[in-house]
């Protein structure tokens, strides 16, 4: 695991070693703020701090102290906002972070009747952690009483979160010995996404049947991408297949086929597909169809950005001896990534408008065939390794399905007036 060890441990350490405790402090503090704490994944960052303690990057006592201090300061700020601005703050801004009157009344009743339990045990609930200090200030809970319970809750939560991250780090390290670091991280991400999907659907009934298929594609694409990256960095099975195919692809070269592949790879370049996607996003924006415009823009632009970031992290050179000149890094293939995003979006919307079943299947097959042809052109022209193309397809599919599910959550939980404007 020497390559992965160097990749994971040497890359982030300068930042974490110098700023790790401050990051933990700020993340814990953000959790107690009524608006920021509703959206910012501060608890995840604090747990990640415990993970780096297990790696030996941070000290256990200092990490716990930073988490406890940040949590307590965040509670004090939330309490101060509630005491100074009170109910006006809730009534004016509550709808923007899904804090309804029913939730306000329920939380206020808990604080009034069980202040200690709410401030200590409630710290382990994402909603009460962000709003209990605000409601405590609004309800005029005595300051020294709030300080006592707030400090106790911060101490228990901060220590438990860091220790949980520490234990998670031990389990992750053990799993990485068998599966590899990148695949193990992908498995953790898959578990987190699946649990998030299940919890959200259980509480708010956000998703319908076909969204489950998007979840499956999302999980599979994360695994496939991580496996391709792991195999290259560790020189495992897919890497050996890359070498064999690269050495033998010239056996199918034909002059007419080479011209066709060059034409396909040029006409469907990532820049061309990005321009087409931005034109479509602009059209939907003009038509005031905000959901479609935002999904296209973030899918295409964000997909290219993710691909560029992956290239920098993996840092894989291209094959030599290609039929055309290509510069830059190889993993993943941006051609494959943009093709799967663009034509999947086309299938996602236009297939719904086709009434005849046979025509719909023909259309879907044509779009899938174009994606396959674009991907094959990169291998035929010997400008990408096979795992580059597979990783590009997987990363594009992950990003698109993730955005579709995320947009579904936002639209279902958004206030009614905002939801209507996005239709």
Cβ partners under 8 Å of residue 313, min gap 6? 7, 11
Q: What does 340-380 look like in DSSP terms, one character per residue?
A: HHHHHHHHHHHHHH--SHHHHHHHHHHHHHHHHHHHHHHHH
Whether cis (ω within 30° of 0) applies to the bond prior to 338 is no
pLDDT at 392: 95
Cβ partners under 8 Å of residue 382, min gap 6? 246, 249, 250, 319, 321, 322, 323
Task: Report residue 176 as tokens.
Answer: 């990485």
What's the Cα-to-Cα distance from 280 to each of 50, 173, 197, 283, 289, rounded to whole Å?
Answer: 45, 45, 29, 5, 11
CA separation for the pair 401, 185 (Å, rounded) = 19
Alpha-carbon torsion (304, 289, 367, 208), positive or negative: positive
pLDDT at 1: 41
**Contact between residue 413 and residue 325 where contact means Cβ atoms under 8 Å apart:** no
From the list 244, 398, 261, the residue with the least C-alpha distance to 326 is 261
Tens-binned pLDDT, residue by residue, of the chain (423 aa) = 444 445 444 444 555 556 788 888 888 888 877 666 566 677 788 888 888 888 777 888 888 899 899 888 888 888 887 777 666 666 565 555 555 555 556 555 655 565 556 666 666 666 666 667 777 777 777 878 778 878 888 888 888 888 888 887 777 766 666 667 777 778 878 888 888 888 888 877 888 888 899 999 999 999 999 989 888 888 878 888 899 998 999 899 999 999 999 999 999 999 999 999 999 999 989 988 888 899 999 999 999 999 999 999 888 999 998 899 888 899 999 999 999 999 988 887 776 677 777 777 888 888 889 999 999 999 999 999 999 999 999 999 999 999 999 988 888 876 554 444 444
**Contact between residue 90 and residue 137 where contact means Cβ atoms under 8 Å apart:** no
**Contact between residue 64 and residue 110 where contact means Cβ atoms under 8 Å apart:** no
Residue in the block written with tokens 């780096």:
52
Classify burial at 177, counting beta carbons within 10 Å of its beta carbon; exposed 0-12, middle 13-18, buried 19 or more. exposed
Count of CB atoms situated within 10 Å of the CB of 276: 16
pLDDT at 398: 94
pLDDT at 5: 47
Cβ partners under 8 Å of residue 342, min gap 6? 273, 276, 277, 300
pLDDT at 178: 62
Residue in the block written with tokens 């020497």:
2
């Amino acid at each position: 695991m020497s390559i992965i060890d160097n990749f994971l441990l040497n890359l982030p350490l300068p930042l974490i070693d110098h700023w790790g405790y401050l990051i933990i402090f700020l993340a814990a503090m953000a959790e107690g703020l009524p608006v920021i704490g509703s959206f910012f994944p501060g608890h995840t960052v604090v747990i990640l701090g415990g993970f780096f303690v297990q790696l030996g990057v941070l000290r256990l006592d200092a990490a716990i102290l930073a988490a406890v201090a940040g949590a307590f300061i965040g509670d004090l700020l939330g309490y101060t906002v509630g005491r100074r601005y009170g109910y006006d703050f809730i009534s004016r801004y509550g709808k923007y972070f899904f804090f309804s009157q029913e939730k306000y009344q329920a939380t206020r009743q808990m604080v009034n009747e069980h202040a200690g339990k709410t401030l200590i045990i409630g710290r382990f609930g994402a909603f009460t952690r962000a709003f209990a200090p605000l409601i405590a200030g609004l309800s005029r809970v005595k300051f020294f009483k709030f300080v006592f319970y707030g400090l106790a809750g911060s101490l228990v939560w901060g220590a438990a979160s860091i220790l949980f991250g520490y234990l998670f780090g031990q389990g992750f390290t053990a799993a990485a010995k068998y599966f590899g670091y990148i695949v193990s991280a992908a498995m953790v991400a898959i578990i987190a996404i699946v649990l998030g999907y299940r919890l959200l659907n259980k509480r708010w009934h956000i998703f319908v049947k076909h969204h489950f298929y998007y979840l499956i594609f999302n999980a599979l694409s994360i695994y496939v991408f991580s496996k391709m990256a792991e195999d290259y960095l560790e020189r495992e099975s897919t890497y050996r297949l890359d070498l064999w195919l690269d050495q033998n692809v010239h056996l199918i070269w034909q002059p007419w086929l080479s011209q066709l592949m060059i034409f396909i790879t040029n006409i469907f370049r990532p820049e061309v597909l990005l321009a087409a996607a931005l034109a479509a996003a602009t059209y939907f924006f003009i038509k005031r169809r905000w959901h479609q415009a935002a999904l296209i823009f973030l899918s295409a632009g964000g997909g290219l950005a993710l691909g560029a970031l992956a290239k920098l992290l993996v840092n894989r050179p291209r094959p030599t001896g290609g039929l055309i000149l290509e510069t830059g890094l190889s993993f993943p293939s941006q051609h494959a990534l943009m093709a799967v995003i663009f034509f999947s979006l086309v299938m996602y919307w236009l297939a719904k408008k086709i009434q005849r079943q046979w025509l719909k299947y023909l259309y879907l097959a044509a779009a899938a065939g174009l994606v396959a042809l674009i991907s094959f052109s990169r291998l035929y022209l010997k400008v990408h390794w096979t795992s580059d193309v597979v990783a590009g397809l997987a990363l594009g599919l992950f990003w698109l399905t993730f955005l579709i599910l995320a947009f579904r959550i936002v639209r279902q939980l958004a206030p009614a007036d905002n939801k209507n404007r996005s239709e």
